[in-house]
Chains A and B, each alone.
Chain A
């Protein structure tokens, strides 16, 4: 069964304290791994898509990496405005409909 597990569930950081969020997955062939940011009461906002092991993508203070079993979202010198829930999702190679399977998310709080 295709599955996505994110850890930790919640993370509190001081401003400037770098850390990483983990997304472990089991899927019958990976078509793509997605990272989203979600602010309270809003829909998820697309951040990155990773397609193959070894791939990395960056956006401002965020960097996403991918291995054959997991993905990391590295946050460098975070600011309070980075506080949000970060969602990871996978798309199986067998899916031609674009269906995404989500993890439960990591809620990040960055204190000034």
Chain B
């Protein structure tokens, strides 16, 4: 079975903290994505990576950065957490030739 694993299901952080969200996939997929999901706004793309050390901004990159040092791992970093970053964060991976994206279980982040 294909698997995308996010390091935490639930996180509570304080305003101003640096936050790391980790995502690991075991499918040898080239492309990985970070989305956030908010009621009424759907899934919005934050960043994606199409190769090790390669990254591109998505639609809402402000306040976030990413790291991809190994093919299987894609990290999302909140440089200085703010309350408007309280959200569900979803990681996905895809091999474009398969035209099928698999998601992790999500991380519910609350910034207080």
Contact = CB atoms under 8 A, between A and B. Distances in A.
Interface stretch (B13-21, B65-73, B74-82, B94-102): B94-102
A96 to B, nearest CB: 6
A99 interface: yes
Q: Interface size bucket, B side?
A: 20 to 34
Contact of B48 (A41, A43, A99, A103): A99
Nearest to B107: A43
Query: Chain B interface secondary structure, helix, strand, loop or mixed?
Result: strand
A45 B106 CA distance: 11
Query: Chain A interface secondary structure, helix, strand, loop or mixed?
Result: loop
Interface string B87-105: 0001010111001111111
Given A98-B101, A99-B33, A42 B106 contact: yes
Interface in A55-101: 87, 89, 91, 96-100
B112 interface: no
Interface of B: 4, 6, 31, 33, 35, 40-43, 45, 48, 50, 56, 58, 90, 92, 94-96, 99-106, 108
Interface of A: 31-32, 34, 36, 41-46, 49, 51, 87, 89, 91, 96-100, 102-105
